[in-house]
């Protein structure tokens, strides 16, 4: 269990994912009300004051930890619906792609309520469910985004049997393809309070990042999510407190 979750259990607080000793705690501001049509940084972050800085720190502390154990396959999941998980996951993928030479694949694994294709202005007539029930290389189902080393595997157009697709043999085969062809794979999945998709995908990934909503997620719900991951032997990489509102201007916080 990570230092963040130990702190969560002891103090009832959530710090920035994998926060380094001595660094001040920081959280993500409220999710933009206007959805961006692409992952171009000047568009996707224009409406947020310090959102880009906070997501950049999240990416740095998650994917660029010292040593050979830095995660490359990460599942992002909210403790409950409405935490802004899709927003964080998509922006983390964009920032990561800007900072690495390798390829990054963003996967919409939330088959119950997919949103990444709408958020990013990408088509959804071919995607994950089509790949799972179809044939050919997984690359045939990908959409290239900006920057050019970033790709999206949308949820797909097929809606049947969505509850079992992620645990199927076909999914395991497609994951093997993705992991062999991409340096980094980020999954956006349904909230832990609605299903166990985060656990299913987390078993094949390096771990799960939990997204909590400020002034909404109850401490008991966060602890329950951590315990579920632990019981399933899925690594809890950290937690992000999202949609925090600041009572004083951001500029003043920098001097505190």
Taking Cα atoms as reference points, which of 106, 86, 19 lies closest to residue 54?
A: 19
Could you tell me which residues are beta bridge partners of residue 105? 151, 185
3-state secondary structure of 244: strand
Taking Cα atoms as reference points, which of 13, 65, 78 lies closest to residue 208?
A: 78
pLDDT-derived band at 218 (thresholds 50, 70, 90) equals confident
pLDDT tens digits for 18-67?
333 333 333 444 433 222 333 333 334 333 557 788 888 899 999 998 87
Domains of the chain are 3-253 (3.40.50.300)
Provide the whole-model pTM.
0.79
Task: Report the C-alpha gap between 181 and 178 in whole angstroms.
Answer: 5
Q: Which helix (H) or strand (E) is 125 found in, with range?
A: none
The C-alpha angle 112, 139, 91, rounded to 5 degrees, equals: 55
Arithmetic mean of pLDDT, 223-251: 79
From residue 155, give the alpha-carbon distance in Å to each of 16, 100, 130, 139, 162.
29, 25, 8, 14, 10
pLDDT tens digits for 87-119?
999 999 999 999 999 999 999 999 989 999 999
pLDDT tens digits for 162-180?
668 999 999 999 999 999 9
């Amino acid at each position: 269990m990570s230092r963040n979750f130990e702190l969560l259990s002891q103090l009832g607080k959530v710090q920035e994912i994998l926060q380094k000793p001595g660094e001040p705690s920081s959280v993500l501001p409220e999710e933009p009300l206007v959805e961006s049509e692409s992952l171009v940084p000047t568009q996707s972050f224009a409406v947020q004051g310090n959102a880009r800085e906070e997501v950049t720190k999240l990416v740095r502390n998650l994917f660029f930890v010292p040593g050979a154990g830095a995660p490359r396959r990460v599942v992002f999941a909210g403790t409950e619906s409405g935490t802004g998980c899709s927003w964080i996951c998509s922006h983390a993928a964009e920032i990561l792609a800007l900072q690495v030479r390798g390829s990054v694949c963003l996967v919409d694994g939330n088959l119950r309520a997919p949103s990444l294709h709408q958020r990013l202005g990408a088509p959804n007539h071919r995607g994950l469910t089509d790949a799972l029930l179809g044939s050919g290389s997984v690359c045939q189902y990908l959409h290239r985004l900006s920057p050019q080393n970033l790709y999206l595997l949308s949820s797909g157009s097929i809606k049947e049997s969505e509850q079992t697709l992620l645990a199927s043999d076909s999914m395991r085969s497609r994951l093997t393809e993705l992991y062999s062809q991409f340096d980094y794979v980020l999954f956006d999945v349904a909230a832990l309070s609605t299903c166990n998709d985060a656990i299913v995908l987390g078993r094949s990934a390096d771990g799960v990042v939990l997204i909590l909503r400020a002034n909404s997620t109850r401490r008991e719900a966060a602890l329950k999510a951590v315990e579920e991951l632990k019981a399933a032997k899925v690594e809890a990489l950290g937690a992000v407190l999202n949609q925090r509102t600041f009572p004083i201007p951001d500029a003043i916080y920098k001097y505190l």
